[in-house]
Amino acid sequence: MRANHKRSKTPAYYTASIAYDRRLAKYDIAGSVAHARMLAKQGIISEKDAELIIMGLVAIRQEIEQGQFPFKEELEDIHMNIEARLFEKAGDVAGKLHTARSRNDQVAVDVRLFLKDAIKDSARGIRGLQEALLKQAEANRDALMPGYTHLQRAQPILFAHHMLAYFHMLQRDMGRFQDCLRRVDMLPLGSGALAGVPYLVDREFLAKELGFARISENSMDAVADRDFIAEYQATAAITMMHLSRLCEELILWSTEEFGFIKLSNEYTTGSSIMPQKRNPDMAELARGKTGRVYGNLIGILTLLKGLPLTYNRDLQEDKEGLFDTVDTMVSSLEACGGMVESLTVNRDKLAKAAGEGYILATDLADYLVSKGVPFRQAHGQVKALVEYAMECGKSLRELSLPEYQRFSPKFDAGVYEITPQSAVEARDVPGGTSPKQVQRALAQAKRILEEQGGR
Amino acid sequence: MRANHKRSKTPAYYTASIAYDRRLAKYDIAGSVAHARMLAKQGIISEKDAELIIMGLVAIRQEIEQGQFPFKEELEDIHMNIEARLFEKAGDVAGKLHTARSRNDQVAVDVRLFLKDAIKDSARGIRGLQEALLKQAEANRDALMPGYTHLQRAQPILFAHHMLAYFHMLQRDMGRFQDCLRRVDMLPLGSGALAGVPYLVDREFLAKELGFARISENSMDAVADRDFIAEYQATAAITMMHLSRLCEELILWSTEEFGFIKLSNEYTTGSSIMPQKRNPDMAELARGKTGRVYGNLIGILTLLKGLPLTYNRDLQEDKEGLFDTVDTMVSSLEACGGMVESLTVNRDKLAKAAGEGYILATDLADYLVSKGVPFRQAHGQVKALVEYAMECGKSLRELSLPEYQRFSPKFDAGVYEITPQSAVEARDVPGGTSPKQVQRALAQAKRILEEQGGR
Amino acid sequence: MRANHKRSKTPAYYTASIAYDRRLAKYDIAGSVAHARMLAKQGIISEKDAELIIMGLVAIRQEIEQGQFPFKEELEDIHMNIEARLFEKAGDVAGKLHTARSRNDQVAVDVRLFLKDAIKDSARGIRGLQEALLKQAEANRDALMPGYTHLQRAQPILFAHHMLAYFHMLQRDMGRFQDCLRRVDMLPLGSGALAGVPYLVDREFLAKELGFARISENSMDAVADRDFIAEYQATAAITMMHLSRLCEELILWSTEEFGFIKLSNEYTTGSSIMPQKRNPDMAELARGKTGRVYGNLIGILTLLKGLPLTYNRDLQEDKEGLFDTVDTMVSSLEACGGMVESLTVNRDKLAKAAGEGYILATDLADYLVSKGVPFRQAHGQVKALVEYAMECGKSLRELSLPEYQRFSPKFDAGVYEITPQSAVEARDVPGGTSPKQVQRALAQAKRILEEQGGR
Amino acid sequence: MRANHKRSKTPAYYTASIAYDRRLAKYDIAGSVAHARMLAKQGIISEKDAELIIMGLVAIRQEIEQGQFPFKEELEDIHMNIEARLFEKAGDVAGKLHTARSRNDQVAVDVRLFLKDAIKDSARGIRGLQEALLKQAEANRDALMPGYTHLQRAQPILFAHHMLAYFHMLQRDMGRFQDCLRRVDMLPLGSGALAGVPYLVDREFLAKELGFARISENSMDAVADRDFIAEYQATAAITMMHLSRLCEELILWSTEEFGFIKLSNEYTTGSSIMPQKRNPDMAELARGKTGRVYGNLIGILTLLKGLPLTYNRDLQEDKEGLFDTVDTMVSSLEACGGMVESLTVNRDKLAKAAGEGYILATDLADYLVSKGVPFRQAHGQVKALVEYAMECGKSLRELSLPEYQRFSPKFDAGVYEITPQSAVEARDVPGGTSPKQVQRALAQAKRILEEQGGR
């Protein structure tokens, strides 16, 4: 949620972040609980003090969960809101919690914990869409359709092959999020304001308590670093780009002109003025939301440009864009998942389009190659043949053998055996669109999903 | 305010915009009132119907102003929320309001009305900062300071001259917003869904009622166009860039190392851990917020890229980024205005820095030019002189005349009359830093502010 | 042209800009000629010296025009290359040229002169495309086609109306470039390094000589300011966005599925493998090049973010992106102009599409409104009617009057008079798609082009 | 290198890419050689034909390496230039090379091969800068300096600790490039135009020949995918952001005001007008070049937004921005490496700054904590103490014990033992700035570099 800045003379509203960083409350409390526990373990505060602090924090967590926490803008951020409340709950002992830490390493912990969860949500969203794509691919596994380059019909393909192309894009996104996670999964606590802390803290214990894989190696870097946000934003931008490509196709395929699919009613809306309309609004929104995620990426990169070490208040601006990207991308993945899952394929229309026009021209050239003609020469002969056919207004199938042979003596009756189906079957290389290859690819995709634990 | 998308299976949350477009309510109602009035004037609906509709709309406006309007997410957007409420208030006659218009031209009117107000706010924010700059310039009109290039001391200047540099940057921003306004100030209503409306509407009347300077000339363009948002975003991005430059300087000048200014307490904050800190948080935030405004610009440009005519649902995504930019920029202008107005200049430190080191070297070269030495040669001789002085650890003032003359026989006792003050006075060209020129510039700046009507 | 940075240990290549700023040569020389003339007029150098300098500069200009100038990377930039050559041509007097100026105000003059020309080229490119759009509009002035919202057929329109929508977008671009020009058209010379110059220069004379409308008002601002580049980049980004929308439509319309237009052979290319292909490569490239122009905009904004006054070497990076944007946009405008001018419209296909399906549903609702039904009610009745027709597989035309009347008793035989042609004629409001309005709009567009002086 | 688009009526210049994609020549030839070898191995062409083709390709490679290849713009791209030349060299057999492939999978191979090399160069550049940072850290391992937050002095640190912060940032960049490499390292050849090829090709053999780790799994994805470019661009953008932060600090530290370091002459430049200047131009350029790399990232993301499958000509625009980013980042890494390696640290100035002012205030608070005062209370007491000292114009050291005790009775003579050195030593936690921890970190950094194989 972006804060709605009210305009006033007093600048408090300008620096306050509580309108959005309250979302970090549960992470902030988890971090503080672990910190208190560690302080006691190390003898920096007493066990009793730690207990009082932790009891207070747990009570505050409940208040927040129940929507009863009195957030105050004048306390500016979530950390100060919680600390102030802790004083109310636990008394002066609350003042010991901030021993051996700073807001600088505290907020870094919070955002990292948040992002670890966000990456889980992102992965779940990706998986959901992958499942929907796979379901459609399997449900229409023998459906032919035209494959496009330059949005011109190019060669026949299997609809399932097209769906799997998106499956693989998303699989790369998954990989990128996992790689990003490795860099997020590092505890900054113990870095203090910038230089480390003059207490015998146990950072490995903190990491274990909070579920981090390792601890940061340089305190100045730890409080100044927001790479992990930039990396998440970049990864999300690529994922949204993928969704924009998918949605562009769904929008095209839903036009009267293409007519390849019908989106379910849940994913279309009507018009305030035109009674006949069924608009693919969800797909358009997902495509449009790509812009905001790109924008958030530029936002964080601009923010970090030229910042000297270590913490600068500019960094406060890292969070709203992050929250917005997480929400936008995860909800877009979910919307696309539902949209793909519930769409209906018009197989007849697809099959018809796969056979029209001159879509088999490449196969004619390859046919000539099989008769010994060098590819470039074959390509030239078929190009001339197609131009001739266009002029006559005939399809390839309607040309007579003598007509064929006018362009190459190598043509024989075999040309009539070239069909969309045969064209698809011929592309029987790993990664190709032949039914056999696609079958194998479907099995592999299912395996991938299973290994990832399903939905 | 950015909507906080909750995740759910039902896609309603995904398409709803009511969380943020409620901000358009007053513009939507104004548009509807004018529309109803026009429909009646043209005999498309009866006067009585119009009256009922307008009474209902006025009542709804009151509800909203008093925070009593029951916004409903399931009604998706502000237009449908208001229309539904109008049915409750005015009965079936409400159904006549949407005659001869579409949501497509309705939302375009709303955003344009909003933006006209936002440009007024933007201009007010600019003017406020300009006034603060001018006030500081006048209060310190004879203060010397080092002028910098490459963040190295270059030549002495007047502090007031430096302040006025920002005044002029902001004056250009003002010009850009005014130019943008001319393109915003156009009524799209009457364009219908895309093709115009089949009713005898009076668009000029509508324009007059709503205060637009003119009507749109092509209905398809009118509903598909979001240029004016992109232009506003670009103009705001340049303005924020200016603020980032100003804030960078305020941050630098507030360091112990520079020590040129002291920000007032209201514009600094302390540290959670370091008791001595007085951090320039406001300036850092304004600098950091530049990123989010750049991001919003990229957001709208990405959104519009490759969109076919006319309305596409992607366009719904134009608003949150716009609202965010308006709020961010206007509040940043206000924060900067207050920060500049309330800062204290350490004139002694500035004056001392203006006289240290070799900052007068250019003036020595110009001195030689006045004795007939070609500039390039003079430049070379002074460069050698400065290197010699650095090696000796002497300032220019500490060099003896024979030492000077070792580098050029043209040097005479006049070199000792070159001072920061004389250097500043010498630059007496229009736009230059001499006291006379700066005095003139201050007067002109005051005139500009007066012509714009002051705060 | 972007420099191809070779990798070496010596850092000279890193700072050199001569690989691209040589493009500024003619502006640099013009600036120097005017400067020398002014120095002599003011008695700062002798008339004779000025003459020698100017003769040398003229000779250098010729060398450059004839491709015989010995550009040297070790001299880093165009200014030093020319000055060094001037020493070779004119001897020591060359050393007097740099009196009363700095590279900081010199380069600012050069870029502003370049940009004034670039804006002329940009305007010419826009006008060319506008002419092509107008020509197509006039040649097909009575052709009907479906108008789209959400890429779904919405209401019939005139093809000419669609073309004119782009004409008006481009007209706004023109306005933005002219506004930008006013801010570019300002002489910075005389600002020196940052503080003005200690010579009695005549800046108004310089402005007149070089064709600038006015002189800069603050020397620090003058050398630090690159707003005008950012503004040009933003304006170009919006223009490219317009081209991307146009090209998206041309690509769609060229598909087998739409089949609305045929691009001329000059604007399509074949495939290396598929003999039948006629791909709309030009349109795709123009759409793709939008990205690079957006990128250049972000480049300059990022560069300027947080830069303290005045000149910083970062600013050297302002030029390559500018040159690239000018070249990209102007060539894209030309390509689009040619593409639009030479395309063929398939009027039959357009007309057929304009009559199919339920595209006249809005007109049925408006028909009911004309019989006294409130719009919302009429909309609901027609929606039900359309759903019924879809289920029966009937077009609106195929429904019997009793069928109509089942949904509203107000329907009578008049419904059969509603046709795409009548629908278009009914939208007879200013800005609407009726033949009368479009005729008026065409005349106005022609007037605009004539006032701008034609190609 | 970006092509310098000349303006002409004929659109050939608009589609040609040979001006920049010639850079792919060696990869294109390697790809073709492997393809020919595979075609022969599989019996698709004869061994003899393959031999002739390969001999021709090898000869062409030599021509290119020797700068004797006749590049022709009318042949548009590098692929067609090489194929045309192959016909000249090898005769009609050249026509067999394009069997079982398309330009779509061919160009994808070329760019992936290029990028694998570019990632190696990127890694080398990173390592070089890491070595320079480590060298400076070791050479100044006991130098104290002020650590900053908000550009205000915060706590004393070791200079080496500051250097190592950048080492770790760059180590993350290294990780991101390696992760990116895994996704680049995949053979697309065999995907044909989009659907796979109707020949019994051996894709695993091709992968092995060309050094790819694996083959692509979906032919449509393989020709449509440019994720790997976007990912590289994003990774480079983060790396440039790191350089911009480093350079900002080098610029600050080089000012007269800070005076912490002196850049070597090789990395500074003079002024055309001010003889005394030594400007940190390299650092400014690297900071400025961040903008262009951010721009290239936005360029590719914009380009890909909303593109339907599979190949579209927009994709041709993927290369110039990539080349520019690789060149910019690698040369910036090298420049920064040299700059850091050759700078001189002014230890006295650093040490003095580390002891001035109230930089030890946190340690006073921690001192009170060690006496049993809760941190918040201690923080408050020291804050009051510092304010008192500021008002008196005394440093902490100059305060008497009674003065200390006025703010807390817990203060005793031990406060005078708190020094910058003791403050640094106290922060003896993993990742902290104590000499022991920094020593350990230096050893670890050296180990990392050794494992990566040194320069």
Domain range summary for chain C, segments of one domain joined by +: 14-99, 104-352, 356-444
So what's the pLDDT on residue A334? Answer: 97
Please judge whether A270 and C358 are an interchain contact, meaning their C-beta atoms are less than 8 angstroms apart: no
- Give yes or no for a contact between B224 and B69, defined as CB atoms under 8 angstroms apart: no
Name the DSSP class of B279.
B
Please judge whether B168 and C427 are an interchain contact, meaning their C-beta atoms are less than 8 angstroms apart: no
- Segment C126-135 mean pLDDT: 98
Residue C7 confidence class, pLDDT cut points 50, 70, 90:
very low
- Segment A414-435 mean pLDDT: 96
Q: Kindly list the partner chains of chain C, i.e. chains with 3 or more CB atom pairs below 8 Å.
A: A, B, D
Q: Which residues of C are catalytic?
A: 150, 271
Nearest to D386 among B256, B275, B356 (CB): B275
User: What distance in Å separates the CA atoms of residue D52 and residue A264, rounded to the nearest whole number?
Assistant: 58
Q: Which of D109, D229, D301 to mutate to test the interface with A (most CBs of A within 10 A)?
A: D301
Residue D279 β-bridge partners: D269
pLDDT tens profile D135-155:
999 999 999 999 999 999 999
User: Do you find a cis peptide bond into B310, omega within 30 degrees of 0?
Assistant: yes
So what's the pLDDT on residue D11? Answer: 61
User: What distance in Å separates the CA atoms of residue C118 and residue C181, rounded to the nearest whole number?
Assistant: 10
So what's the pLDDT on residue A163? Answer: 98
Nearest to C274 among A154, A257, A258 (CB): A154
Q: What Cα–Cα distance (Å) separates residue C73 from each residue in B360, C17, C344? A: 31, 8, 50
Could you confirm whether D434 is annotated as catalytic? no
Is residue D391 predicted with pLDDT exceeding 60? yes
Is residue A328 predicted with pLDDT exceeding 60? yes
So what's the pLDDT on residue D278? Answer: 87
Please judge whether D7 and C330 are an interchain contact, meaning their C-beta atoms are less than 8 angstroms apart: yes
pLDDT tens profile C400-443:
999 999 999 999 999 999 999 999 999 999 999 999 999 999 99
Nearest to C361 among A152, A276, A353 (CB): A276
Nearest to A269 among B3, B15, B303 (CB): B15
- Segment A299-324 mean pLDDT: 97
- Segment D232-246 mean pLDDT: 98
Residues in D touching B153 (Cβ below 8 Å):
256
Q: What Cα–Cα distance (Å) separates residue B208 from each residue in B29, B37, B38, C163, D29? A: 16, 12, 11, 29, 68
By mean pLDDT, which of B339-343, C375-379, D333-337 is the weakest? C375-379
Residue A11 confidence class, pLDDT cut points 50, 70, 90:
low
Is residue C243 predicted with pLDDT exceeding 90? yes
For C14-99, which CATH class?
mainly alpha
pTM, to two decimals: 0.96
Please judge whether B2 and A301 are an interchain contact, meaning their C-beta atoms are less than 8 angstroms apart: no
Q: How far is C76 from chain A (nearest CA, A)?
A: 25
Q: Kindly list the partner chains of chain D, i.e. chains with 3 or more CB atom pairs below 8 Å.
A: A, B, C
State the average pLDDT for chain D: 94
DSSP states of C237-262 as a string?
HHHHHHHHHHHHHHHHHTSTTT--EE
Residues in A touching D137 (Cβ below 8 Å):
none
So what's the pLDDT on residue D267? Answer: 93
Greater confidence, B11 or A192? A192
Residue B148 β-bridge partners: B153
Closest CA to C164 of C136, C123, C122: C136
Residue C13 confidence class, pLDDT cut points 50, 70, 90:
confident
Share of chain D above pLDDT 90, in %: 90
Backbone dihedral angles phi then psi of residue D16, each to the nearest 5 degrees: -70, 140
User: What distance in Å separates the CA atoms of residue C341 and residue C263, rounded to the nearest whole number?
Assistant: 10
Q: How far is B319 from chain A (nearest CA, A)?
A: 11
- Range D104-352 classified under CATH 3.30.420.130: no
Cα atoms found within 13 Å of the Cα of residue A402, Cβ hemisphere only: 0
So what's the pLDDT on residue B383? Answer: 92
Q: What Cα–Cα distance (Å) separates residue A274 from each residue in B98, B100, C283, C358? A: 12, 12, 31, 9
Q: What Cα–Cα distance (Å) separates residue D200 from each residue in A366, A426, A430? A: 12, 9, 10
pLDDT tens profile C302-315:
999 999 999 999 99
Share of chain A above pLDDT 70, in %: 97
pLDDT tens profile A82-107:
999 999 999 999 999 999 999 999 99
Task: Look up tokens 């103490």; give the residue.
Answer: D385
Q: Kindly list the partner chains of chain A, i.e. chains with 3 or more CB atom pairs below 8 Å.
A: B, C, D
Residues in D touching C334 (Cβ below 8 Å):
7, 9, 14
Please judge whether D430 and A175 are an interchain contact, meaning their C-beta atoms are less than 8 angstroms apart: no
So what's the pLDDT on residue D97? Answer: 96
Nearest to D295 among C280, C298, C331 (CB): C298
Residues in B touching A279 (Cβ below 8 Å):
313
So what's the pLDDT on residue A2? Answer: 40
Q: How far is B434 from chain C (nearest CA, A)?
A: 8
Fold match between domain C14-99 and domain C104-352:
no
From the list A271, A370, A400, A422, the catalytic residue is A271
User: What distance in Å separates the CA atoms of residue C349 and residue C17, rounded to the nearest whole number?
Assistant: 54
- Tell me which H or E stretch contains B214: strand B214-215
Please judge whether D5 and C327 are an interchain contact, meaning their C-beta atoms are less than 8 angstroms apart: yes
Nearest to D96 among A167, A225, A374 (CB): A374
Please judge whether C271 and A385 are an interchain contact, meaning their C-beta atoms are less than 8 angstroms apart: no
pLDDT in tens for each of the 455 residues of chain B?
343 444 345 567 798 999 999 999 999 999 999 999 999 999 999 999 999 999 999 999 999 999 999 999 989 999 999 999 999 999 999 999 999 999 999 999 999 999 999 999 999 999 999 999 999 999 999 999 999 999 999 999 999 999 999 999 999 999 999 999 999 999 999 999 999 999 999 999 999 999 999 999 999 999 999 999 999 999 999 999 999 999 999 999 999 999 999 999 999 988 777 777 889 999 999 999 999 999 999 999 999 999 999 999 999 999 999 999 999 999 999 999 999 999 999 999 999 999 888 999 999 999 999 999 999 899 999 999 999 999 999 988 899 999 999 999 999 999 999 999 999 999 999 999 999 999 999 999 999 999 886 44
CATH T-level topology, domain B356-444: Ribonucleotide Reductase Protein R1; domain 1 (1.10.40)
Please judge whether A150 and C279 are an interchain contact, meaning their C-beta atoms are less than 8 angstroms apart: yes
By mean pLDDT, which of A162-166, A423-427, B32-36, D395-399 is the weakest? D395-399
So what's the pLDDT on residue D271? Answer: 78
Residues in D touching B306 (Cβ below 8 Å):
305-306
pLDDT tens profile D187-214:
999 999 999 999 999 999 999 999 999 9
The end-to-end CA distance of chain D, in Å, is 27
Please judge whether B99 and C290 are an interchain contact, meaning their C-beta atoms are less than 8 angstroms apart: no
Is residue A3 predicted with pLDDT exceeding 80? no
From the list D264, D271, D370, D422, the catalytic residue is D271
- Give yes or no for a contact between C167 and C133, defined as CB atoms under 8 angstroms apart: yes
Is residue D9 predicted with pLDDT exceeding 90? no
Share of chain A above pLDDT 90, in %: 90
So what's the pLDDT on residue C11? Answer: 61
